[in-house]
Amino acid sequence: MSNLKDLVEEMDQLSNPEKAKHLSRFFKTGKGEYGEGDVFIGLVVPQQRQLSKKYIDLSLKDLQTLLSSKIHEQRLVALMILVLKSAKAKEKEEKEIVDFYLKNTKKINNWDLVDLSCHHILGKYFFNKDRKIFYKLARSKNLWEKRISVISTFDFIRNNQFEDGLKIAEILLYDKHDLIHKAVGWMLREVGKRDQKVEEEFLKKHYKTMPRTMLRYAIEKFPEPKRQSYLKKSAT
């Protein structure tokens, strides 16, 4: 039976101070940066994936303890376990996981935590349900809830359902944070991979005024002449 104490001890044993320093810089944990105050112990993603499989039977109560930790890797393992649980869950248990996730969005507070979890849990669950929760998250004042709203639409997009992603993109079009610019641009690029005409219809309305980073991400896979054309005509 999985044991929270064993997991924490195993993570401590795998800790790597040098790697932790690198991760702290990479995830912008300095004063005034988006990850301010986040604490790393130096585990890499493959190690955390192995741990999540080993400790998949941890309860939601145990996962709450991990998600409330100041240690980044503990929160990430908790989310990886949630993703694994969600993939196997029946309707009642899946709803419990989704409700748990939505209760903890403010603890899912760095871009890797968001990107490795939200579309697997929220996108999958709401695929055949009312999606108004994503519009509520998109209008949040919390950076991570806004990013969750964008990245969660990937589950819809890969099934050629673009409408929600594009509507959320319009809500967040002039958001001030670079991490939202990147997320929206990435989402538009994913739409374009499946239907470039749909992406270009959106871009024709907005490319002259949308943030430059968002545009660059959105047109990254375009042929070079077309990419340069968009960049030259857009606002600097």
Distance CA 42, CA 29 (A): 14
- Provide the CB-side half-sphere exposure for 208 (13 A, CA): 3
Span 44-53, pLDDT tens digits = 999 999 999 9
Tokens of 128: 């055949």
> Are domains 1-106 and 130-236 of this chain identical in fold?
yes
pLDDT band at 1 (very low <50, low <70, confident <90, very high): low
Span 68-122, pLDDT tens digits = 999 999 999 999 999 999 999 998 999 999 999 999 999 999 999 999 999 999 9
Average pLDDT score over the chain: 95
Beta bridge partners of 71: 39
**E strand or H helix at 66:** helix 60-67
Distance CA 55, CA 165 (A): 34
Between helix 196-206 and helix 178-194 the angle, nearest 10°, is 140
210, 236 contact by CB (below 8 A): no
Distance CA 145, CA 106 (A): 7
Distance CA 169, CA 66 (A): 32
Over 60: is that where the pLDDT of 26 sits?
yes
Window from 163-167, 191-195, 198-202, 228-232 with minimum mean pLDDT: 228-232
Per DSSP, the three-state class of 138 is: helix
The residue-averaged pLDDT of 2-21 equals 95
pLDDT score at 232? 86
Burial 81-118 (b: 16+ CB within 10 A, else e): bbbbbbeebeeeebeebbebbbebbebbbbbbbbbbbb
- The CATH architecture annotation of domain 130-236 reads Alpha Horseshoe (1.25)
Span 28-47, pLDDT tens digits = 999 999 999 999 999 999 99
- Name which of 13, 21, 58, 18 is nearest 38 in CA terms: 21
Over 60: is that where the pLDDT of 150 sits?
yes
For domain 1-106, the question of CATH label 3.40.50.2000 is answered with no
Over 60: is that where the pLDDT of 203 sits?
yes
Q: Can you give the residue ranges of every domain in the chain?
A: 1-106, 130-236
Angle at 58 between CA 125 and CA 24, to 5 degrees: 85
